Amino acid sequence: MSTSQKLAGKVALITGGTTGIGLATALRFVAEGAYVYITGRRQAELDAAVQQLGPNAKGIRSDVTSQADLDLLFDTIKAEKGQLDVLFTNAGGGEFAALGGITEAHYDNTFNLNVKATLFTVQKALPVLRDGASIILMASIVASTGPENFSVYSASKAAVRSFARTWAADLKGRKIRVNAVSPGPIDTPGLSGLGADAAQAEQIKAYLASTVPLGRLGSPDEIGKAVVFLASDDSSFVTGTELFVDGGTAQV
């Protein structure tokens, strides 16, 4: 466990915190002294994550695409803790779809989850966020690159990246910092889920690893460490930016 306690005394919320990057970041936050709320849609996974996180965490079943769920989420945090110091909008996802075969449902599902939900999560958090808080948005390197058959997801993450800029300006009067973290290929359950079966998932992972200058996939914990930086006072003069954590994939 870290002895620096970079988030000591802070209250944080991580959406989509039951697995992968969200859970790894929650573990980091707890180790750094924060009290952490996590959300998820499935109660069993939420309970298992909280058990792993320990007494300085609480899970709230919540679907970030539901306005009613978001209202209940922030009402609960306000009643229990009074305010939030850190918000990490990690919940999101996407699927491959080739241009020419993109359906309205695919577009709506992707933008509702990645863009609309991010917007209303942050907007509904504003009354609970303290002045000087840190907001971290989950973007992706695909906002800057052009992966084949991933255009809708990539566009949704470009919108999230844009939010970091505009909201940094909107919230500067409250000294609230807004930044985006953009992972490269990370070995998560979500990445495995892009394959139709286990064999295809391994093929996708092997291909993605071959595109990374460092020669491997990243780990969820490596993203968690970067989010801790953006959440803490170590990044006190950083706002509106995009932190690439991608092994050089979008850089070289």
Catalytic residue numbers, as ranges: 153
Sequence-separated (6 or more) residues with CB below 8 Å from residue 251: 213, 244
Q: What is the 3-state secondary structure (H, E, C) of 33-71?
A: CCEEEEEECCHHHHHHHHHHHCCCEEEEECCCCCHHHHH
Phi-psi region of 183 (alpha: psi -120 to 50; beta: other; left: phi over 0): beta
Q: What is the dihedral of CA 223, 227, 228, 229, to 10 degrees?
A: 110
- 136 beta partners: 88, 179
